[in-house]
Amino acid sequence: MTNSLGLDRAPADTRVVVAMSGGVDSSVVAGLLAREGYDVIGITLQLYDHGEATFRKGSCCAGQDIHDARRVSAALGIPHYVLDYEKRFKEAVIDPFARSYANGETPIPCVSCNQTVKFEDLMTVARDLGADCLATGHYVRSGALEGRRALYRPLDGDKDQTYFLFATTPEQLDFLRFPLGEKTKEETRALAREMGLSIADKSDSQDICFVPKGSYSDVIRKLMPEAEIPGDIVDRDGKVLGRHKGIIHYTVGQRRGLGIASGEPLYVVRLDARTQQVVVGPRSALTTYTVRLRDLNWLGGRPIEEMAAGNGLAIEAKVRSTRAPQESVIQVRDGEVYVTLVAGESGIAPGQACVFYADDTPGAQVLGGGFIAEAVPAAMVT
């Protein structure tokens, strides 16, 4: 007989490490598992110091989060450990983010963090502690499928975090558990209140943790001052329309703040790190139907080379965490993976993720995804 985590043993004989961020979701996961009688250990990773990340002394939200995780663990009566992973986080997440941004991409550091520090390093720690699995507060589902564990969209579509977990490997999925996949955020908060947890009404984090005010360029300028290189603002024919202070201040799709006069609205359609040019054009130039991917992670069972050969494989795909998946087709050509978005998408930039789903239902299986290496624009017509 299996327990609620799908393991063949009693809860009391099952050790679970819970990744505790100090927020409502992971705190409730720890509380639920402790209440069911599992041998629960809470671990919080100190990943950054806001004073260091924003170059402002005396600012340390990471410290408050750690304090909250400690208080929750004490209230639940479970052991809690804090591990200093600041150096690793900088090397694995912050530095690659800065390099990617300086290269004109739009990186997603939350995916990198899950890929490395959380699901690679923390998983190793969990195994060293004799844990049978690692549980997190992500709103996703996983379950057994044909002798392995598959990843699915959660019950609460508004909190769906599968976009940020597409890079989770099959081996990692076997060790991971997501107890909140069947719950809504409202139910999670209600459980926190029922458990008497002090963080029950704590607000969700909105910003990237090391970019607390949403100003990417400020952080990158501090980490890589050499990345702020002036250059030309040009149209798609190469005509110089103005000057800029550095491509790190621009993103694909941006309209405001270009500082150039034009008879029609102009948008950033491409950032060229090689020439340090900001390329602008009409809104229609932002539309993309086909993307080429790199660093593919396939969770679909049979090899993608088999399933996406010929005319390709019909799937649902999303290139924005906040957008619903849309009808798409994956094709593998000459070893490269391409995704065609039937309805197209506006403002796609290299570095973003393209995530695959089996269908458009709320509980659809996640088939994997990859990072966008190239966005192929539609015909350049005004």
| Residue type at 237 in one-letter notation | D
60 in catalytic set: no
Strands annotated E in 230-364: 231-234, 240-244, 267-272, 277-281, 287-298, 313-318, 326-333, 336-346, 353-357
Q: What φ, ψ does residue 31 adopt, rounded to 5°?
A: -65, -45
d(CA 379, CA 61): 47
DSSP reduced 3-state for 132: coil
Q: Are 349 and 373 in contact, with CB atoms under 8 Å apart? A: no
DSSP reduced 3-state for 7: coil
Residue written as tokens 């399933």?
307
d(CA 174, CA 254): 41
Q: What φ, ψ does residue 211 adopt, rounded to 5°?
A: -130, 65
Mark out the alpha helices in the chain (DSSP H runs): 24-35, 50-53, 61-76, 86-89, 95-102, 109-113, 122-128, 170-175, 185-194, 216-223, 304-307
Around Cβ 349, how many Cβ atoms within 10 Å? 21
209 in catalytic set: yes
d(CA 153, CA 142): 8
Q: Are strands 15-19 and 133-135 parallel, antiparallel or unpaired?
A: parallel
Q: Given 110, 113, 133, 354, which residue is catalytic?
A: 113
Structure tokens, 366: 């996640």
Is the Cα torsion angle 347, 352, 356, 362 positive or negative in sign?
Answer: negative
Q: Given 61, 133, 209, 354, which residue is catalytic?
A: 209
Catalytic residues: 113, 209
